[in-house]
Structure 1
């Protein structure tokens, strides 16, 4: 086994272990709050959904990449290839959709009561669970054709174009179906990104205006400590900024993988590594900003 493959396996192993530990910790945290009947925030449902999607991405991409890096090239059969690619795509898309929902619901939650969103603010929490379920169903249906274009490396059929992911092949026949599928994915991702940036900008504007309005409180030597709502909003803003940055970098690599031919395995591995960065990093952002975590850990 080449030393380069060994290094790749170690890197994906480290990322997978760190991501699994972080997301399982956050999942335990929310399950603890649920079973102890603690008061939950309106965004906790979205964050639980995001954690599950993150785990799917890490398991379906990190584990196969890790095993392929350690020299196990043909350890997945045809069904396994189709399953792993489908689960990864659904998990990734649900992660994007949930992040979009999270930013929109957070913007609605902190909007002033006298704004045009006042009526929607009262009813928004009733649609959070329904929106998450719809997000799962939509992305499962949208990616249903993906397994048709994935096969294992033991398949001896000659394909006109195929991409080697180290443990599976992805066929690229350039049919109208694949073009429509790629267009739908691109439009969905672009629309989600616009919503995330717009909702986040609105949230920053509201927070800044609120800070200007209550500045006199700090001049009276009252406690400058942020409220739980403000801290939760800050954590979500950090989460969204991290997501947008990594999503942009991932999209650049995706364009390179789509446009260029005869790409090296290093470039594909780097793209996979960046794709899994947000699922790996996001739970630690949530743990760092949520003041309820120490009490749960102590309990």
Structure 2
């Protein structure tokens, strides 16, 4: 094993070690919430869906890259390349759109009761399942190039100047125009929710700041009245900052691969793109765990119930 393979394997292993258990923890917390309360609020459903999508990103791409880097499994044949890249691109895009959806819903949640924004929030919650289905259809449709043009590096396929090197796989576009159209669609699919999410999050922060100032004037003696709002604002700011930085770098590198004049863009660029895009999926559940009271309480209850269950089982014997 070369030093380069070892380093890239360790990078992907670190994302796997952080991303898999943290996303599973968020999913388990909300499944426990469903079991105990037999219902799930719209914001909670979005976060649960986001955690499942992030888990898919980390498992399908980071775990597979780790296994391949350390020669533990050979998953990148022609079929494996198509499946991995297709699922990765679809789930990665879903992660972006679900983060925007969560930000937009939180923005609408601040609206005063009876306003048209409150009505929009109720409509969004009512048709949330249809929105999920629409996002899945949209993003799977826009990831079809991964199935049509992806081949394993082990395949002696004749590459063109429009091929993109994805380490163990090549995305070999039939023409420069198809490569540029696909690239523009990928960038647009990311930039649109980025702009909308940033706007929604800025509105959230501005409204929460205005409200906190009003609370300070009216209840200067109360110290805990704005705590929950401040936690929400901080969580939104952290998620948006992570989103803009990590996906901004990812899309900047993708634009570079579209404009580079060599036969194939460097596999290092591909590794950096996957790393920065997957880093959001690995770190965002940590932000959710740290800021979401429901996740915290359900995880604590699960941790407390396990020793009690083991103790009762031992006593029954």
Q: Which TM-score applies when normalising by structure 1?
A: 0.90
* 1:112-261 pair list within 5 angstroms: 112-113=112-113, 115-161=115-161, 162-174=163-175, 176-219=177-220, 221-226=221-226, 228=228, 231-260=231-260, 261=262
Deviation track 1:168-225 (CA, whole Å, cap 9, x = no partner) reads 1221332544443333333232221121111111111211211122112442x22325
Three-state SS of the structure 1 residue aligned to 2:224 is: coil
Q: 1:68 to 1:215 in 2, by over 3 A?
A: same
CA contact (8 A) 1:65 1:166 kept: no
Deviation track 1:20-71 (CA, whole Å, cap 9, x = no partner) reads 0110011101111111117644311111111111112112211232123224
The structural deviation recorded for 1:156 is: 1.4
Q: Distance in 1 between matches of 2:209 and 2:183?
A: 39
Three-state SS of the structure 2 residue aligned to 1:111 is: coil
- The alignment status of 1:287 with 2:294, answered yes or no, reads no
CA contact (8 A) 2:32 2:298 kept: yes
* Worse-superposed segment, 288-297 or 41-50: 288-297
Three-state SS of the structure 1 residue aligned to 2:88 is: helix
Three-state SS of the structure 1 residue aligned to 2:270 is: helix
Three-state SS of the structure 2 residue aligned to 1:64 is: helix
Three-state SS of the structure 1 residue aligned to 2:293 is: coil
Three-state SS of the structure 2 residue aligned to 1:239 is: helix
Deviation track 1:95-133 (CA, whole Å, cap 9, x = no partner) reads 111112111111111122364424323433212222122
- For these two proteins, the number of residue pairs brought into alignment is 298
Q: Distance in 2 between matches of 1:217 and 1:224?
A: 13
The structural deviation recorded for 1:289 is: 0.7
Paired position in structure 1 for 2:275: 273
Q: Which TM-score applies when normalising by structure 2?
A: 0.85
Q: Distance in 2 between matches of 1:199 and 1:66?
A: 36
Structure 1, unaligned runs of 5 or more: none
Structure 2, unaligned runs of 5 or more: 302-317
* Worse-superposed segment, 234-243 or 20-29: 234-243
Q: Distance in 2 between matches of 1:53 and 1:252?
A: 23
* Worse-superposed segment, 157-166 or 172-181: 172-181
